[in-house]
Structure 1
Amino acid sequence: ADEFDVDWSQVKIQQADLDPKYGAQIEGGSRAIPTNYDPMRQVGAAGRLLMVGAAAEMWSVPARELATSGGIVTHAPSRRTATYASLASRAAAMPVPDAAAIKAAYKDPKDFKIIGKPIRGVDNLAIVTGKPAFSIDVSPPGMLSAIFEKCPVFGGKAVSANLDEIKALPGIKHAFIVEAAGRGNNSLASGVAIVADSWWLANDARRSLRVTWDEGPVATQSSVGYAAQARQLAGQASQPPAPTGRGTAVVGDVEAAFRAAAKIVEAEYVFPLLSHAPLEPQNATAHYTANGKLEIWSPSQIPSLANPALGAGIQPGDVTMHLVRAGGGFGRRLVSEYDVEVAKIARVVTEERTAAGLPSVPVKLLWTREDDMAHDQYRPGAFHFFKAGLDASGQLIAFRDFVASTNSVLPANEFPRGFVANFSVNSAPIAPFDIPTGAMRAPSTNGVSFVMQSFIDEVAVAAGKDPLQFRLDLLANAVPGGAAGGFNGARARGVLEEVRDMSDWNARGRLPRGTAKGVAFQFAHAGYVAYVVEVAVGANKRVTVNKAWAAVDVGRQIVNTSQSVNLVQGGLIEGMSHLMAWEITIDKGRVVQRNFGQYQPTRITQAPSSIDVRFLQTDFDPTGLGEPSLPPAIPAICNAIFAATGVRIRSLPLVGDGYGWA
């Protein structure tokens, strides 16, 4: 819109259906800005050139004499104007400018009217006034509602159920067993579907449902067993990593450096499985017709025709998918087994109705909160066994991390790699582990940042150094072997120095007893974020996050300043949920936590009184911000708790050690 030179009030945004002509329609990985920023500028600039060209041709004047603004082309010498609408037909017949001409037509950033300004969300009004805006609001005519009861043990199967009794209940139209199909996360689990005139009737009937389950082998697995196995595996920590092992890294000789070290620091850190817990539980709506076609309304972050096609037993070409807004995703809806489930249920409903001489109808599947928490694609957990070596001057000379993992991404490329001469990451898998896992906001770094940045803080204290300056000193001295994964030490130093100044870090010694500041930074999804957080810890381990400061480097251009600040502030507040109370535990193959009473998110009264955000606009292409803002918030708060109390936080969530919000 900015490059096209129209006013934001003239722009109408419409959600597209899933269609190959749009390319990859994916929402995730902080890819929107790096993927679309330049292509959108190209489209806008090309359109503006075409409008100018059409006006120049119509008026027989040089294009250089024309100017654009607000969707109007103006020829100042003759005082003539033409709207883009009046020029559209002529412009459509003109050849598209070449790439060089389009690039040359780009606006100077100082002339941007929309980019870099605070722009409100296009559907804010609909949301705050309660208008239908989300997938849960989809309600085509004649729709029935469904629940789907799955085995509480992962991989379990329904053997039998009291279906006749359920079908006799008021408003119940269908009840049937669904057999498992497919493999992997986007597969169809075995269970029992109940379909009724309303969701409330279907869910009420569920209370009378009695299912005989074959729980399968996963019923022997538990969080206690995973932890015991992790500590057994820790004995392998000193073994040299296999050079081709998954997520391993070997730089220098850590064991030799440990033998020469003046001081050794060792610690075990743990972070748990997490559920995404979006406010809108998983749901989708589908209509299977008697001619073998399926229409589906889905909130998927990575929509695929193959998923509902699997459920309905048809070809992807026979599926039409409408994309609707999700009530929170955070990576959960990158997997859309609910699309598979609703497609299967819709087909069975249509077949039963057809046999009874009734027309097909749409069916909405809506999970309960308990379903959502018990059948998630969980953020993996991990056990990290650290060892660091310091020389007599307090310089870090060796760093080792051994990871016992439940499918967690390993920190092979994480800082301090590239800034310590001897660096090693090795791992061993916890197995069997048959709990489904998937991406969560800031995949890998949402847990790894806690352990790495907390242990770096611990090493700094052992060295007798200022934790922020310790990081800066490390970043100033790259070593052979180099940082990996695109990490840029200068950009990391930039956000640390900025947040130091923003927060008046060097004056932290004047804070009252029990109040302190902590620091952490993270490179994630091409962005750099550093936090300083001020925390007060009172009696009975009651914690208050007073203030937070964030310095952010995501390149040369912030596209929407309002949403960018929101993303950073929201990242910190979501990180507070990870920190304090979120944990998924497994007992006999099933999830223990079932609702927010056992999995409490941060409330508005627990949020900091201020979160000051500052963007460093550096000479790098702009990148995304959804992921980078969350990970370092967690260790920054933990490091502040240590500075306030002298107690190091090495496992999450904090409620497990008796902490709570004030």
Structure 2
Amino acid sequence: MTTRRQFLITVGATATGALLVGFDVQNAARAEGAAQAVGDYVVLGQDGILQIFAKNPDMGQGTKTMLPMLIAEELDVDWDRVRVAFAPVDGRRYPLQWAGGSMAVPINWEMMRQVGAATRAVLVQAAATRLKVAPESLITRSGQVIHPATGRRIDYSSLALEASRLPAPDPNALKLKEAKDYRIIGTPHTGIDTPAIVHGEPIFGIDTVVPGMKYAVYVKSPVYGAKLKHADLDAVRKAPGVEQVFALEGIKPPAGAQIGLAPGYAPGVAIVGRNWWLVNQARNLLNAQWDDGYGASHDSAGYEAQAHTLLAGSGKRLTDKGDVEAALAKAAHRVEAEYRTPFLPHLTLEPQNCTVSPTATGLEIWAPTQFPNEGRDLVAQTLGLKPEAITVHMRRCGGGFGRRIMNDVMVEAAAIAIKAQVPVKLLWPREDDVAFDYFRPGNYHRLKGGLDESGRLIAYAVHGVTFTRDGKLIDGGEINADMAPAAIAANYRLEQSDIAAIAPTGWLRAPISNALSFVHECFCDELANAAGVDPLQFRLTQMRAHLNEPPPPSGEPGEPTYDLRRMVPVLERVAERSGWGKAPRKPGIGFGVATYFSHRGYFAEVAKVKVEADGQWRVLKVWVVGDCGSTIINPVNAEAQVQGAVIDGISHLRNEVRFDKGAPAQTQFSDFDLVRMPDAPQVDVHFHITDNPPTGLGEPALPPVVAAIANAIHDACGARLRNLPSTTAMIQSGRTDGASKAA
């Protein structure tokens, strides 16, 4: 039975299998005249201002604005009366309190609207009791309960205390608004934190300051797995601003585990003092000596040599449909190619940081993290504490892209604070932020495709080489089968071979898809060229021929599968918006197209690229059309997410991380060719609205743009990019347009 102190709903199983456990009302006996909490998500002030708590982390994807919009819509209040704050970190009161996988909308779309509807329902019940009328005779508007028959109105704020004492409504009796009645959802709203960001207010993790706080750096070996042999701690102690210096032995994580996801942290030396600049300068006096470490023999050149050997053979079969070899043997056109995608860093603008204060019973932590509850549990498991003794405060993240799923910096900061017995802010310098990243893993592919005389794809074979650690596939290294070729090729084979690696890996924005899209969508263009067919028309023809066939199996159990019926209209729309095939040909200007199904979103994109005589290239414009379901909750943020995905995609073509003797060779922003403002292209964004459930936008717009740009480069000059990152030498050696190959 739901008690009065478990105010709002217990919802039936959501699409994710999670339960929304209702609001434990805080201070229900609060005096009249004070702000009143009506459940865990809403606080009503006597001035008519509402505070709504956003339960999920925000790293720029807009959840801190979007989730309260859903609540406010069903609560029937005016958005200009809403104030937003992060919810406390509490996985029981705030289910699924994390950010990643573009899942904020699928998980919370119904859940948060039910929160608003349930809050509204008890406010109406409280008003009905006071007015001595039936709840059905009342309506709500702009934060008031109205009795139309008499014109009497009661502001929500004066009903909060009474409402907080009522039992929870039956979730099955809640009637959510129809889309035609939305006043907040679907209308553009500036991000809640945008004014603070523009004004430089201290809202990010890196801005955290607590009483008595000291600053820390943590010096680790550049070679993975190395231990400290010797360090000149006395020289560092004498440096200006340094107050404490000590070595930590670290804890080796379990076999096959990532340090950010399992108990463990690397050995190193902590330097603590009153000024971060000074303690970071003091690390130059450390003269640390390390043993070789288990990673010393690993490097990119070795990976590439192994991949070349493996691709010459066969691998473990993950998918085998039809008879690929027989289909290839009778194909009118056969195409073979090898593709490579590199390791990539996250390069968040805000480097890794965490502030930890020891308390009488445990720890208090302020962290820019995508997984706050999991971070708390990781700290507890690693350092032998009870999770309930640790309080975590979410801070705004200055970019995440999957890097802040890993909470390794929380563990390091906690270990340093416990040893130092003072509040500590651990801030990684940029060199550490790159060197100790959890990189997007690279992979290698040999592809074979066969077309019949009509240009129909009849065979598709993939042999992919990825990476393992301790015999287990590394994070982000999956080679999925839920891609276009699997949906349209009657004969399809997917094989996998593995290389043992030690570099820490993880999930980069649109993980897995961001690499596979380049490989398969560029090879799709090669097939179209072999058939002598326009690449956009080639895709449409192949897809339309298979619309009534069952989709391929999903790469993840329970996840939606690739539905060609949703991709076809998206591709048709982008052809219309870009004027595909209608622009007059100009020297050095090319157009490329690509599609991809990623994170429940269907996207098709066209890129317009200019390639100079010296091999330099620039993206002039990108047209993006996406099907993300029935509703775009906040159009302002949705468009920004797509634009950001395009910018990220350009950088994916230009950059890589290479390893030399167990350490990354690139460690600074200056080591990477990032897109600057003058190089940013125009981005035309259009959402194709369908009847499907709404989904997230942080990731699915990224994968197609990588391939669309590469295909546009080929269209402009004839150079086919199969090995990223692109270089001017690569383009010059492959061009067929007769342009000068002199720089």
TM-score range, shorter chain: over 0.9
- The AA in structure 2 aligned to 1:563 is N
Tell me which moved more, 53-62 or 550-559. 53-62
Deviation at 1:20, TM superposition (A): 2.8
Contact (CA 8 Å) 1:419, 1:482: kept in 2 or not?
A: no
Separation in 1 of the partners of 2:132 and 2:392? 47
Other-structure match for 1:358: none
Of the candidates 72, 88, 92, which is equivalent to residue 17 of structure 1?
88
Q: 1:573 aligns with which of 607, 628, 647?
A: 647
Which residue number in structure 1 is paired with residue 619 of structure 2?
Answer: 545
Within a 5 Å distance, the mapping from 1:433-472 to structure 2 comes to 433-472=501-540
Q: Structure 1 residue 586 and structure 2 residue 659: aligned?
A: yes
In 1, Cα distance between equivalents of 2:521 and 2:124: 53
Aligned residue identity for 1:541: G
Say if 1:134 and 1:325, in contact at 8 Å, map to a contact too.
Answer: yes
1:656 CA drift (Å): 6.8
Verify the 8 A CA contact 2:101 2:510 in the aligned structure 1.
yes
Q: Provide the residue aligned with 1:599 in structure 2.
A: 672
Residues 213-264 of structure 1: CA deviation (Å, up to 9, x unaligned): 0122311111000000000001223x6x44xxxxx21111111111111221
Does the 8 Å contact 1:415/1:483 carry over to 2? no
Alignment partner, residue 113 of structure 2: 41
Aligned with 1:165: secondary structure? helix
Which residue does 2:31 correspond to in 1?
Answer: none
One-letter amino acid matched to 1:449? S
Separation in structure 1 between the aligned mates of residue 396 and residue 296 of structure 2, nearest angstrom: 36
Structure 1 residue 421 corresponds to structure 2 residue 490: yes
Give SS of 1:295's match: strand
1:16 CA drift (Å): 2.3
Aligned position for 2:403? 332
Give the superposition deviation at 1:500: 0.6
1:60 to partner: Cα distance: 2.9
Whether the 8 Å CA contact 2:551–2:563 is kept in 1: the answer is no
**1:373 pairs with 2:455:** no
| Partner residue in 1 for 2:279 | 202
Is the CA contact (8 Å cut-off) linking 2:252 and 2:265 kept in structure 1?
yes
2:542 to 474, 499, 502: 474
Q: Which residue of 2 aligns with 1:225?
A: 302
Q: Structure 2 CA distance, aligned partners of 1:7 and 1:482?
A: 43
Kindly state the Cα deviation for residue 310 of structure 1 after the two structures are TM-superposed. 4.4
For 1:354, the equivalent position in structure 2 comes to none
Q: Which runs of 5+ in 2 are unaligned?
A: 1-71, 468-473, 555-560, 733-742
Does structure 2 conserve the Cα–Cα contact (< 8 Å) formed by 1:421 and 1:480?
no
Specify the alignment match of 1:147 in structure 2: 217
Instruction: Quote the Cα distance in structure 2 between the aligned partners of 1:59 and 1:315.
Output: 49
Question: Paired residue for 2:380?
Answer: 309
Residue 428 of structure 1 deviates from its aligned partner by 0.5
Question: Normalising by the residue count of structure 2, what TM-score does the alignment of the two structures yield?
Answer: 0.84
Aligned with 2:141 (options 46, 65, 69): 69
Counterpart of 2:605 in structure 1 is 531
**After superposition, what is the alpha-carbon deviation per residue over 1:79-100, rounded to whole angstroms, capped at 9, x for unaligned?**
2111011222333343433233
Query: Does the aligned pair in 1 maintain the 2:451–2:457 contact within 8 Å?
Result: yes
- Pick closer, same or farther for the CA change 1:314–1:52 going to 2, 3 Å: closer
Distance in 1, matches of 2:441 and 2:165, equals 54
Residues 56 and 66 in structure 1, CA contact (< 8 A), matched pair in contact too: yes
What secondary structure, in the 3-state scheme, does the structure 2 residue paired with 1:270 have? strand
Deviates more, 1:10-19 or 1:615-624: 10-19
Report the alpha carbon displacement of residue 480 of structure 1 after superposing the two structures with TM: 6.2
Kindly state the Cα deviation for residue 309 of structure 1 after the two structures are TM-superposed: 2.4
> By how many angstroms is 1:542 displaced?
2.0
Structure 2: how far apart are the matches of 1:17 and 1:154? 36
> Secondary structure at 2:85's aligned position in 1?
coil
Output the CA distance in 1 between the equivalents of 2:445 and 2:604. 22
Unmatched 5+ stretches in structure 1: 243-247, 351-360
Corresponding residue for residue 17 of structure 2:
none
Distance between the aligned counterparts of 2:575 and 2:189, measured in 1? Answer: 29
Residue aligning to 2:690: 618
The aligned counterpart of 1:348 is: 419
Kept in 2: contact 1:249–1:413 (CA 8 A): no
For 1:111-140, what per-residue CA distance to the aligned partner results, in whole angstroms no more than 9, with x for missing partners? 111100111111111111111010000011
CA distance in 1 between partners of 2:391 and 2:119 (Å):
31
**Which residue does 1:6 correspond to in 2?**
77
2:242·2:279 contact (CA, 8 Å) conserved in 1? yes
> Given the alignment of the two structures, is residue 362 of structure 1 paired with residue 423 of structure 2, yes or no?
yes
Question: What corresponds to 2:268 in structure 1?
Answer: 191
- 1:498 and 2:573 aligned: yes
- Does structure 2 retain, via aligned residues, the 8 Å contact 1:543–1:659? no
1:309–1:343 CA contact under 8 A, matched in 2: no
Match of 1:357 in 2: none
Structure with more contact order per residue of length (Cα contacts < 8 Å, sep ≥ 6): 1
Cα contact 1:55–1:73 (8 A) shared by 2: yes
Give me the whole-angstrom Cα distance separating, in 2, the residues matched to 1:121 and 1:490.
34
How many Å apart are 1:566 and its aligned residue? Answer: 0.4
Q: Which amino acid aligns with 2:271?
A: I
Q: Is the 8 A contact 1:373 1:593 kept in 2?
A: yes
How far residue 307 of structure 1 moved from its aligned partner, in angstroms, is 2.3
Asked if structure 2 preserves the Cα contact closer than 8 Å seen for 1:182 and 1:310, the reply is no
SS in 2 for 1:505: coil
Paired residues of 1:267 and 1:387 also in contact (CA < 8 A)? yes
Q: Report the Cα distance in structure 2 between the residues aligned to 1:5 and 1:394, rounded to whole angstroms.
A: 56
Q: Residue 185 of structure 2: SS of its match in structure 1? A: coil
RMSD: 1.7
Change (3 A) 1:83 1:149: same
Q: How many angstroms does 1:63 deviate by? A: 3.4
Which position in structure 2 is the counterpart of 1:60?
132
Q: Return the alpha-carbon distance in structure 2 between the equivalents of residues 201 and 611 of structure 1.
A: 43
2-side partners of 1:603 and 1:518: how far apart? Answer: 22
- Cα distance in 2 for partners of 1:312, 1:175 equals 20
Tell me the equivalent position of 2:8: none
Establish whether residue 158 from structure 1 lines up as the match of residue 228 from structure 2.
Answer: yes
Distance 1:482 1:3, change over 3 A: closer
Shift in Å at residue 57 of structure 1?
2.8
Distance 2:236 2:163 in 1: 63
Would the alpha carbon gap of residues 47 and 316 (structure 1) be closer, same or farther in structure 2, given more than 3 Å must change? Answer: closer
Cα deviation, 1:439-498, whole Å, max 9, x if unaligned, reads 111110011111111111111111111111111111112286742321110101121011
Alpha carbons 1:418, 1:484 under 8 Å: kept: no
Taking the aligned partners of 2:137 and 2:385, their CA distance within structure 1 comes to 58
For 1:554 and 1:487, locate their aligned partners in 2 and report how far apart those are by CA, in whole Å.
13
The TM-score normalised by the length of structure 1 is 0.94
Q: SS of the counterpart of 1:219?
A: coil
Amino acid at match of 1:278: T
CA distance in 1, matches of 2:657, 2:643: 25
Amino acid at match of 2:331: A
**Alpha-carbon separation, structure 1, partners of 2:489 and 2:497:** 23
Shift of 1:311: 5.0
- Take 1:211 and 1:198, find their aligned partners in 2: how far apart are those partners? 22
Query: Alpha-carbon deviation of 1:316?
Result: 2.2
- Out of 707, 712, 720, which is 1:635 matched to? 707
Note if contact 2:521-2:594 (Cα within 8 Å) is conserved in structure 1. Answer: yes
